[in-house]
Amino acid sequence: MVIKKHNNELLVVWKDPITRNRIVIGRLWKRDAKYYFKYIHTEENERGSIEIAVKMGYQPIKIFENIYKIYKANNLFAPFLNRLSGQDRKNKPFDQLRETGGRLSTDTLEFIEPINEIKKERKVKFNIAGWRHYQGDQIIDNISPDDSLLLKLEDDNLYDNHAIEIWTKDSKYKLGYVPAVYSRYIDQSVKENKYEAIIKEISPNASSDEKVKIEFCGEMVKPVISKEKVVIV
């Protein structure tokens, strides 16, 4: 996971539309009423990479075509501001971008809050990953906000050593996975059963990646990850 560097910061994540793998490509942050954006590079050893994303097919946004520049503006950059509804653009747009994720149907960018590795006990919210591959749509009319969920380690996962499955509390229905960007921080809490996970929001008509948002509360443990490895989130 690309860790937090600024007090008020979001990571910019690109999803390959073919493989559906996600990779962190940049940082967007706000400081002293100014907005900043920069790409993350392979040689920075921050476990994200604009270079790899470009090789996978990502095309940088036109106003951010210089991938080595740190961009600065008095207002939230237009390509990011335009991802919000009219009202959200006027009312603390940076906070709204954090809350909504800034997803659009026309591209595969999203914005997520980085992990603060100094804080251990905390709450995080995220959408269930892989929803469309499992049983969630069968029971979406029978689940409700505040329903408790069961998390299980998937030790034999070939793609993620920290993989965590999300199930209904009765273990009858598998709903998907904790996004890899978070799983490597909370797998120890899941292993020790020292956590609480509940459904926070349900959007039946949204895309599969946004249908159900959950809230996790527990201790986050800094993972041991090779510095050379670019993490697919």
Query: In the 8-state DSSP scheme, what is residue 135?
Result: S
Q: Tell me, what's the pLDDT at 117?
A: 67
| CATH C-level class of 121-219 | alpha beta
Q: What is the DSSP string of 172-216?
A: S-EEEE--HHHHHHHHHHHHTT-EEEEEEEE-TTS-GGGSEEEEE
- What does the alpha-carbon distance between residue 27 and residue 2 come to, in Å, rounded to a whole number? 9
Picking from 43-57, 90-104, 205-219, which range would have the lowest pLDDT averaged per residue? 43-57
Q: Which residues contact 153 (CB under 8 A, 6 or more apart)?
A: 163, 164, 165, 187, 190, 191
Question: Which region, left, alpha or beta, applies to residue 171 given φ > 0 means left and ψ of -120 to 50 means alpha?
Answer: left
Question: What is the arithmetic mean of pLDDT over 156-168?
Answer: 89
Question: What is the arithmetic mean of pLDDT over 187-206?
Answer: 93
Give the model confidence (pLDDT) of 7-63 as tens digits: 899 999 998 888 777 889 999 999 999 999 999 998 876 667 999 999 999 999 999
Give the model confidence (pLDDT) of 98-117 as tens digits: 888 898 878 889 999 887 76
Query: Which sequence spans correspond to the domains of the chain?
Result: 9-112, 121-219
What number of CA atoms fall less than 13 Å from residue 138's CA on the CB side?
Answer: 9
Tokens of 36: 């900043």
- What does the alpha-carbon distance between residue 22 and residue 232 come to, in Å, rounded to a whole number? 5
What pTM was estimated for this model as a whole? 0.74
Burial class from Cβ neighbours inside 10 Å (0-12, 13-18, 19+) for residue 117 reads: middle
What is the enclosing helix (H) or strand (E) of 127? strand 121-127
Question: What is the arithmetic mean of pLDDT over 116-139?
Answer: 85
- Report the alpha-carbon angle 64-68-69, nearest 5: 60
Residue 227 scores a pLDDT above 50:
no
Picking from 77-81, 126-130, 205-209, which range would have the lowest pLDDT averaged per residue? 205-209
**Pairwise pLDDT comparison (107 vs 198), residue with the higher score:** 198
Question: What is the arithmetic mean of pLDDT over 136-150?
Answer: 96
